[in-house]
Chain A
Amino acid sequence: MPDTKKTYYKSQAEREALLDPSLPMPAQMQESGVMEESLAGGLAGLLEQSNELRMDRAAFLKLTGFSFAAAALAGCGKAAEKALPYLVQPEEAIPGVPVFYASVCGGCSAGCGVLAKDRDGRPIKLEGNPKHPLNHGALCGMGQASVLGLYDTHRLKVPQIGGQDTDWASLDAAVMGALKDLRAKRGKLRILSRSLISPALNAQIASFVAAHPGAKHVVYDPLSASAILDAHQETHGRRVLPHYRFDQAEVIVGFDADFLGTWISPVEFAGAYQSGRKLRGHEGRFSKHFQVESGLTVTGSKADERATVRPSEMTLALAHLAVKLGAPSDWTGRGANPIGAVNAVDSGRLDAMAKALKAAGSKGLVVCGSQDLKAQLITNWINHRLGAYGTTLDVKRPSLQRQGDDLAVAALIEEMGKGQVQGLIVLDGDPVAELPQGQAFADGMKKVPFTVSLALADDDTASLCGFRAPDNHWLESWSDAEPIAGMVGLAQPAIRPLYKTRQALESLAAWQGKDGLALDLLKAFWKSHVFPAAGKGLFFDAFWDSTLQAGFVDKAGDAQGASGDFREPKIGGLKASSDGMEVAFYPKIALQDGRHAVNPWIQELPDPINKISWDQTVAVNADTAKNLGLEEGDTVRLSAQGTGTVLELPVHVQPGQDPRTFSVPMGYGRAGTERFHDIGPRWLLNVPVVDKGQRLGVNVAALADPSDGRPKWHRSGASVSKTGDNVMLACTQIHQTLDLPAYMVPQAGPRVPAVQEMTLEEFRKGAEAERMDPAGSLYKDREFTGRRWAMAVDLTACNGCSACVIACQIENNVPVVGREEVRRAHEMHWIRIDRYYHDGPDGLETISQPMMCQQCGHAPCEPVCPVAATTTNAEGINQQVYNRCVGTRYCANNCPYKVRRFNWFDYPAVSGSETLTLNPDVTVRSRGVMEKCNFCVQRVQEQKAEAKRAGRGDAMDDGEIKTACQQTCPAQAITFGDINDPKSAVSLLAGDVRAFKVLEDLNTRPAVSYLAQVRNKS
């Protein structure tokens, strides 16, 4: 949606006016009998009681609905007067009309701009800020899901000292006392945080550190990029993370960097990557992408050419590439071709890479996710050799999204272990759970006399801290963000703090003896630091207001200007890695490092590659599995050389997996996941996700390789042994196990495949997608004389990141069902990503296909419904009438796309105070009814009403309506619009040479067109 239609707010006063009346009801209301039932049990009561109160959807709706009903009923009473919404209605707060606040996503440290959608004073959904230069309106699944964290029932609600609830004044007094002692003794005080991209907070920390002699700020990253920064320190003289410009790249070579899924800033990278692969008709540029990795990632699935190596061979493979590009031949060690000997990437493929990179020159880009410093030095060398610095890599305005310093963290742990650290403030993060040396860190913490945690919930680190000073959720915070040097976002709260929490910025200031609200501190910082560089001659207030509206400002003048000199790195002594199996730990889509592991939306999201939700698995290559006698679901004990830790995990046989690598997702075994015991339907045979008091999955940190101070998320000498158990994995797409021998699948026939692919060469030569228009019908086709809403999905763009799945889930109140229900194929997602593998001439090819209701013109679901609960409306949307549905499931049987979802039980969409994220525009479905995608009909209706309100009548602009999946898609793979308008984007795409429809030959006349996947094969 163009933001001209958003309601922004422009000043603090306005914001207070907007937020105040809609928040918790005054206490005296509880005096009235009726009100006690309703209002007290409503928003305010819900928040306070949320720990004890397990509320299902029905109860929630009853309460909220009842609140209004009761207010109306008791209209003459004293209490009812209080219940009237507004005495003076704020100009922009219209009940039922959302207000959007421009802010910065706090889901991770990528710093994407968001618009937080507030309904009646509570944020219910996040959407990317369309104008933000980083994410251009898109948001990843993790960001989408992070809104639930605000309403998390397990948040710390008050500060605590030694586990006892207290108030801020007492906590401040105690903390300041301890700090005073520390200052006096010049004791070592350490402030530990993940990468913080807030300049204001970093400045506050700096001043705090300056005020405490012996203090130091240590930054870590759970998914560290420390080696990249350190390598730039060596080669460029500055410890920076380059800003990767995938949009500029013509040839991309990725080494173990899942940049479309989980690496550093995937939303930005996916958008930029896609802008290098825009095809219209037979025209358009198309980058070439090589990927070398050990396990299959979404990035690998999009790669034109893909090869697998063991993690330890990555550096050697890079060195070989460098040598082919002219690096000293001794980089690759002794012997003619040691890589061949260790079976890394075959030389031919490296030749192809080198050739392509040479041809691309400065338009080439090599990215490497390895934590081996040498690998990063070689990467820098190659990029420098290509002349890519300045085009595809920007170190002048570098990225600040990863600032962690692994060596500093290692030093801190050593200091702590020796008992030298007297004070530790964990400002952000859960190092005990997230660091590879988590156990050592936890042991060290016990020797630190003064420990403070600012964590939002009682995580593994916070539970070891003496003081707990809970931070606000980012949706309650005033903050700023500078993900890329000079690109500064301004983050405003979308709700008043729900609990007695306090922002880190305020806490630090308070402990320095400076009272001040976060807003004032932030404003002061901006006045002195941002405004002078970006003020553009405005008064500060005007500048502030306009920035607040836009959500960001460009401080371009602030380019830090790294030195142009390139210092040749010294690489040597690379050895072929020892033979044998290795284990690699990878961040899974959305779950990533596990910081949102307690979020049920994220846990239930099927991994786009293995389609497994909830379960943590060991990915094993099919041949390896055969050799080891492993089958899907076999539980194994995984161990590695040099560590006593044994992980017990089920096996998933993964195509495209390196034969000598086991891959295990990280981010499991986190504090708070015990809650999943209660998720899912309650019935006789339900198996809880976790046993009471148990955590979901296991923390893999102990198996990471801690050598040379830069822990690596992989380890050599891995081995597995079967336990003899076999579990059924919660996999949403099991055609793996219902696979048929080849002879059973007739190859020829008058049908077109569900997914279509072509090579770039074929495409350039005029290849078109295969179409099969059915002969027609004896009956007259239904005509849509006005609009017909339609969708186009570009498979070339879609990388499977699944942000759409979570966006849809939030937008449409889709319930979470729990592991056992997923195992029973009861998952409820309205949009799913179908993943198909194909053995190409040079390895596995993977294709992701978003599959939602196809809104058929001849919908097979409609005639079979005995009660006419599903019909097509005048604009072509196949609608489901929940009230009418009796649940025969005939429609689902007859749907060839199998997109219909049935409420097998009374699934609570969310429970506890998390119910506040429910979208009031969408019905919460009861047990026993069918549901499915309806092209976000509520958004369609909203914009139509908006057009009428704006006096435009029925006239709508193309692209004015965006479905939730389309809105959040980082690759802009989804287009929605009116197909009866020949000039609309969706019409053009539906008529594209690559366009086809799935199962078109069934004469279902789907409204969704797919655009064939194109691969740039050599």
Chain B
Amino acid sequence: MQSSAAAVDVDPADQSWVEGNKTLGQVTKDIGDHLDGKPGEWWWIGFGISLLALGLGGFCIVYLMFTGIGCFGLNKTIGWAFEITNFVFWVGIGHAGTLISAILYLLRQRWRTAVNRSAEAMTLIAVMCAGLFPLMHMGRPWFFFYLAPYPNTRGSLWMNFRSPLVWDMLAISTYFTVSLVFWYLGLIPDLATLRDRAKGVKKFIYGIFSFGWDGSSRTWKHYELVYLILAGLATPLVLSVHSVVSSDFATSLIPGWHTTIFPPYFVAGAIFSGFAMVLTLMLVARKTMHFEEYITLRHIEAMTKVMLLTSMIVGLAYMTEFFIAWYSGDRYEQQHFLVRFLGPYGWWAFIMYGCNMVIPQVLWFKAVRRNLLLVFIITLSTNVGMWFERWVIIVSSLQTDFLPSSWEHYHPTPFDYGVTLGSFGLFFTVFLLFARFLPMIAIAEIKHEVAHGGAPHGEHEAHGAHAAAALPRAEAEAV
């Protein structure tokens, strides 16, 4: 960077988000070097544990495919529990990635460049994890394609378009596809960079996956345009996917589910949990992969502020639910919210409200926002709290619905825990592989930051040719 002294004079927003006066070559080296050589022992430990969890989950899934859904603790009253909680949890996690990569891109939030690649990868992996659950959770998963609109000889018999589960399936598959394409598109210039650095087989493989990227102005122009379009496409998905997921509950008539505020409430919750997860991951990556100069305290502060905001939106939603339950005068609704808070499983709600609404309030203090350990703890507690939020909504609502004769407890079985652990196993296994084989930070994008110093991010879009010209030079330097 030019100098930190210069930064005093400029607007902090224009300040560069990369520290340590990096040259473009150094950026490539800092990020690319992680992909060479052997992984460290911490990676192996993490990978081993993740693989173990994945294996456990895999065993559970295979076993229950052969035996039946009865392996889970579900019962006549509680038809959804751990698995749908996990599903909503993972879908929610994914949202931060799309928000960071699409919305913040459109809003010209330059700090996103440091985290968008991992956040997007996290989105993809999280959606993969999420997608597993409704599948394994079906009574007859081998007929999952009945949910798809495919031509058939039955009439044609279509799926039921009124069912939120159909919307769900369409929303999630669209989301996954767009996120995948978006993520991969952003990856192409970096893959080209890696190709240029690598030798032998690696070069060949990176070569194939970089689609013959040549770094020409034309290529860059097309790239930027497609990226912009995809960002535009992905933006509504941030809002729509979790709105649709929330419809699974909101369109039903179960007290605790049947709520019109669910879509914004779920979206805010999703972003909240997603940012918490991004932060959790980034804080670890930053430490273990020495990305302190790329993911700076400023980045962390920015993200904690988003968390604080979304936490308060979620908190508002919580209070609205209680208010409406009281205000509606609906006996079942009132009973449900009393039971949720004061009933035999009040501790679930205690965790939920505590972790999501109360604890994040400490983020008002700058000292806390800059204390990495505290932030790390808060992100973890948010992850736990948000899991419990879905758990409380799903399970406690089903437990005590209309007819007291059917009220039931939920007793989880080892299979419930197994597949939950398994999904975390899957998540971290794939994420660790990602960290090994693909650049965790978008090299090409971060080079904007380095190359332009304090120049506003939008400038290179306004003057695409300039930016496009600048980057190949950087590439050349790096090689």
Contact = CB atoms under 8 A, between A and B. Distances in A.
A884 to B, nearest CB: 7
B268 to A, nearest CB: 24
Interface string A899-938: 0111111100000000000000000001111100000000
Contact of A928 (B74, B75, B138, B335): B138
Interface in B38-74: 63, 67-71, 73-74
A866 B163 contact: yes
B332 interface: yes
A333 B408 CA distance: 51
Interface stretch (A131-139, A524-532, A681-689): A681-689
Given A896-B401, A904-B74, A868 B159 contact: yes
B265 to A, nearest CB: 19
B321 to A, nearest CB: 16
A734 B141 CA distance: 31
A612 interface: no
B403 A754 contact: yes
A334 interface: no
Nearest to B167: A866
A1002 B253 CA distance: 8
B144 interface: yes
B407 interface: yes
A687 to B, nearest CB: 12
A481 B199 CA distance: 97
B252 interface: yes
B411 to A, nearest CB: 7
Interface stretch (B225-233, B299-307, B336-344, B435-443): B336-344
Interface stretch (B76-84, B186-194, B201-209): B76-84
A749 B400 CA distance: 17
A905 B70 contact: yes
B166 A866 contact: yes
B68 A683 contact: yes
B339 A744 contact: yes
B421 interface: no
Interface in A720-765: 733-735, 737-738, 740, 744-746, 748-751, 754
Interface core residue of A749, A893, A901 (most chain B CB under 10 Å): A893
Interface residues of B, number: 64
A863 interface: yes
Contacts of A832: 405
B413 interface: yes
A886 B147 contact: yes
A864 B165 contact: yes
Nearest to B401: A896
B177 interface: no
Contact of B402 (A863, A901, A999): A999
Interface in B297-337: 329-332, 334-335
A929 B329 contact: no
Given A860-B253, A885-B140, A892-B76, A867 B160 contact: yes
A851 interface: yes
Nearest to A887: B139
Nearest to A893: B79
B405 A733 contact: yes
A863 B140 contact: no
Nearest to B400: A738
A746 B335 contact: yes
A836 interface: yes
Given A754-B403, A825-B408, A929 B75 contact: no
Contacts of B413: 685
B139 A901 contact: no
Contacts, number: 202
Contacts of A926: 140
Interface in B160-192: 160, 162-166, 169
A735 B407 contact: yes
Nearest to A999: B402
Nearest to B342: A744
Main secondary structure of the interface of B (DSSP, over half): loop
A904 B69 contact: yes
Contacts of B467: none
B343 A886 contact: no
Given A851-B405, A860-B252, A887-B138, A749 B69 contact: no
Contacts of B260: none
B252 A894 contact: yes
A868 B76 contact: no
Nearest to B79: A889
A754 B331 CA distance: 13
A604 interface: no
B12 interface: no
B69 A751 contact: no
Given A893-B252, A897-B403, A738 B409 contact: yes
Interface size class of A (residues with CB under 8 A): 35 or more
B71 A868 contact: no
Interface in A843-895: 849, 851, 860, 863-868, 884-890, 892-894
B76 A864 contact: no
Interface string B135-154: 00111110110110000000
A866 B144 CA distance: 10
Contacts of A930: 139
A575 interface: no
B70 A886 contact: no
A897 B330 CA distance: 18
A866 to B, nearest CB: 4
Interface string A43-64: 0000000000000000000000
Contact of A684 (B63, B163, B344, B407): B63
A670 to B, nearest CB: 29
Nearest to A897: B403
B70 A749 contact: no
A868 B411 CA distance: 30
Contacts of B403: 754, 834, 851, 896-898, 998-999
Contacts of B77: 825, 898
B254 A893 contact: yes
Nearest to B398: A893
B370 to A, nearest CB: 44
A771 to B, nearest CB: 16
B479 interface: no
Given A834-B403, A888-B138, A863 B163 contact: yes
A749 B166 CA distance: 35
B465 interface: no
Contacts of A865: 160, 163, 165
A332 to B, nearest CB: 43
A885 B79 CA distance: 15
A506 interface: no
B13 interface: no
A898 B401 contact: yes
A749 B331 contact: yes
B390 to A, nearest CB: 15
B68 A744 contact: no
A821 interface: yes
Contacts of A78: none
B404 interface: yes
Most-contacted residue by chain B among A740, A867, A896 (CB, 10 A):
A867
A835 interface: yes
Contacts of A685: 71, 413-414
A154 B189 CA distance: 75
B162 A863 contact: yes
A685 B415 CA distance: 10
Interface string A811-843: 000000000010011110000101110000000
A577 to B, nearest CB: 37
Interface string B409-442: 1010110000000000000000000000000000
5 contacts: A684-B71, A744-B335, A749-B331, A864-B163, A893-B80
Given A684-B63, A685-B414, 17 more contacts: A681-B68, A735-B407, A738-B400, A740-B338, A744-B342, A746-B334, A832-B405, A864-B251, A887-B69, A889-B79, A889-B139, A890-B248, A893-B79, A894-B252, A902-B74, A906-B68, A928-B69
